Structure 1
Amino acid sequence: MPYGVIAPIDQQETALAAGADYLESTIVGVLVDAEDDGRWRPVHAAPAHRVPSFAILVPGTLRVSDPSVPIREVSSYLEVALDAIAAVAEPGAKIVFGSGAARTIGPEIPVAEGSARFAEVLVIARDAAWARDLEIVLEPLNAGESDLIHSVQEAAGFLDAHDIQGVRIVADLYHVQLEGESFDVLERLAGRIGHVHVADSGRIPPGQGDWPLSDFLAALRRGGYREGVTIECSWKDLAAELPAALAAVREADPGAA
């Protein structure tokens, strides 16, 4: 079972040397960056190993749930970002669509209109990713980060309500804990989960806090989730702290083999 960590792509060798099976690269400001005129450009990267997953897809300045933002502006950004990702990605690599600030609807836009626009953008991202042999996975975010889709159950309902096929869901222990989502729900919906993020209490490295990491992973494994686990947390020193964090995740995971 692979275990990885989210970090900028230039930290790949550090992560692998510390015992990670892979690095999940961030995107905004790492693989794409803004020009002085506001246009986005790819940033050349040449990692030693191709990357199986990516996070932080959309910059907070691009309001993808706002119908007043031209859809071509969103599509143009996604084309640039996905080309940059494809240049360094493994075939079938996952791209986490969290991006809370970007997808927040806000009080000035009717919820139904903002939700419909985000659904449209999600389909555009899905199709553009598929064209590059990549996969978009939708991440629920706690209410402190976004006003749209806070739980795995809400993500499943959103996808069903908008008849969006072929998009799996991210189960992130940090957001699950802050939203108080039941692990029973995660077990029931595990067949729709395509990616997992973990951290310990307050987003510190696993093993340094008291969150129920083992119970979380056990529920997902009982439900049939058989894929990897990525650590997403705050680090004081990635190289120094990562070995113990990976050991804590492997020890907590009943699917480890």
Structure 2
Amino acid sequence: MAFSGIGIVAGEHLTDAVRRAGADHVEPSISGNLVVQGDDGWHRNEAYAGERFGSFALFVPPDLPLLTGEPAVVDGYFQTVLPVIASVAEPGAKIVFGSGTARTAPEGMSDADARARFARVVGVARDTAREHDLRIVLEPLNRSETNLIHTIDEAVRFLDEFTLDEVGVVADLFHVQAESESFDVVRAHGNRIGHVHLSDRDREAPGTGDWPWREFLGAVQDGGYRGSVSLECHWPDDAEPAMTTALAEVRAAVVAG
């Protein structure tokens, strides 16, 4: 298997541990970490000054309702935050658009209305990101996290329905398993995958549970994806040894595959 790098999703407090563990990249979380809110708006956490990253996670804060909020407020968030992200981003960096609470449709909103409203939001995020040489990738989230767009197949159909070109799909094993989505779907939509998140059962580190993460990576590769893979896991208090072991497990599987 060939991927461009194996990294780890992490907040500021784990960044040094991720690097010492030997990850190829750090994937910072955005909301409440890279971007923090002050009395006068959104600002960069200066702990990240001078850094450069190729991907980012946790895009929208849960208290910003994307489907029912004022469009000007929602759009203003993207217009303010995306330049901040760009200030520490590599050219063409990926932003994972999951944000399940923020995108959840309220009771009584029809599915058609929710999808149309979310399509507008994704389009604005995509267009604003493009202005700063950033790319939006949409993450399907399982039903325990949101009521809108749960599988890779559904994400592809949503993007096609609303002609949201240039938006890739995140293949995250945690959500694939929660939704019992076949790895054949991963293979079939391999050309649409824009990013990959990896974990073992219950967001534990690969190699500590019984999930078929090796087979998942094989399906991703079979579909033609060759980009970066980020481990999105729960880590113990002494995170660095666990990260080192997990990275070794994944790299061994990649070489063996």
Q: Same fold (TM over 0.5)?
A: yes
Note if 1:208 corresponds to 2:208: yes
Query: CA, structure 1 residues 255+84, in 2 after alignment: closer, same or farther (shift >3 Å)?
Result: farther
> In 2, Cα distance between the equivalents of 1:150 and 1:175?
8
| Local SS of the residue matching 2:48 | coil
Q: Tell me how far 1:47 sits from its aligned partner.
A: 5.2
Instruction: Give the Å deviation of 1:10.
Output: 5.0
Q: 1:25 aligns with which of 21, 25, 28?
A: 28
Report sequence identity in percent: 46
CA contact (8 A) 1:28 1:58 kept: yes
| CA distance in 1 between partners of 2:207 and 2:106 (Å) | 36
Does 2:241 correspond to 1:245?
Answer: no
Of structures 1 and 2, the one with the larger relative CO (CA 8 A, separation 6+) is 2
Query: Do the aligned partners of 1:9 and 1:47 also contact (CA within 8 Å) in 2?
Result: no
Q: What secondary structure is seen at the aligned counterpart in 2 of 1:153?
A: helix
- The answer as to whether partners of 1:152 and 1:171 remain within 8 angstroms in 2 is yes
Match in the other structure for 2:59: 57
Any idea what the Cα deviations from partners look like across 1:196-250, whole Å, max 9, x if unmatched? 0000011111110010011101111111111111000101132121011111111
**Alpha-carbon offset, residue 56 of structure 1:** 0.4
Q: Which residue does 1:125 correspond to in 2?
A: 125
- Structure 1 CA distance for aligned equivalents of residues 44 and 76 of structure 2: 12
DSSP-derived class of the 1:122 partner: helix
CA RMSD of aligned residues (A): 1.6
* Cα deviations by residue, 1:146-199 (Å, 9 ceiling, x for unpaired): 000100000001001111111000000000000000000100100000100000
- For residue 209 of structure 2, what is the amino acid of its counterpart? G
Aligned residues between the structures: 253
Q: TM-score when scaled to structure 2? A: 0.94
Relative distance call for 1:48 and 1:193 in structure 2 (3 A) is same
User: What CA distance in whole angstroms lies between the structure 1 residues aligned with 2:74 and 2:43?
Assistant: 14
CA apart distance, 1:254: 5.6
Unaligned runs of 5+ in 2: none
Is 1:41 equivalent to 2:39 in the alignment? no
Work out whether residues 93 and 134 of structure 2, in 8 Å CA contact, stay in contact via their aligned partners in 1.
yes
The match for 2:157 is 157
Counterpart of 1:139 in structure 2 is 139
Task: Give the conservation status (yes or no) of the 8 Å contact 2:196–2:229.
Answer: yes
Structure 1 residue 36: deviation in Å?
Answer: 4.5
Distance 1:182 1:245 in 2: 24
Residue 99 of structure 2 aligns to which amino acid in structure 1? S
Deviation, 1:49, is 4.0
Specify the code of the residue in structure 2 equivalent to 1:2: G
Structure 2 match to 1:76: 76
Shift of 1:114: 1.6
1:173 aligns with 2:173: yes
AA at the equivalent of 1:105: A
Q: Distance in 2 between matches of 1:117 and 1:128?
A: 17
Instruction: Report the residue type matching 2:56 in the other structure.
Output: F
What is the CA-CA distance between 1:80 and the residue it aligns to?
Answer: 1.8
Aligned AA for 2:206? P
> TM-score normalized by structure 1?
0.94
Q: Which runs of 5+ in 1 are unaligned?
A: none
Distance 2:256 2:191 in 1: 15
Q: Where in structure 2 are the equivalents of 1:75-114 lying within 5 Å?
A: 75-114=75-114
- In structure 2, the residue corresponding to 1:171 is in which secondary structure? strand
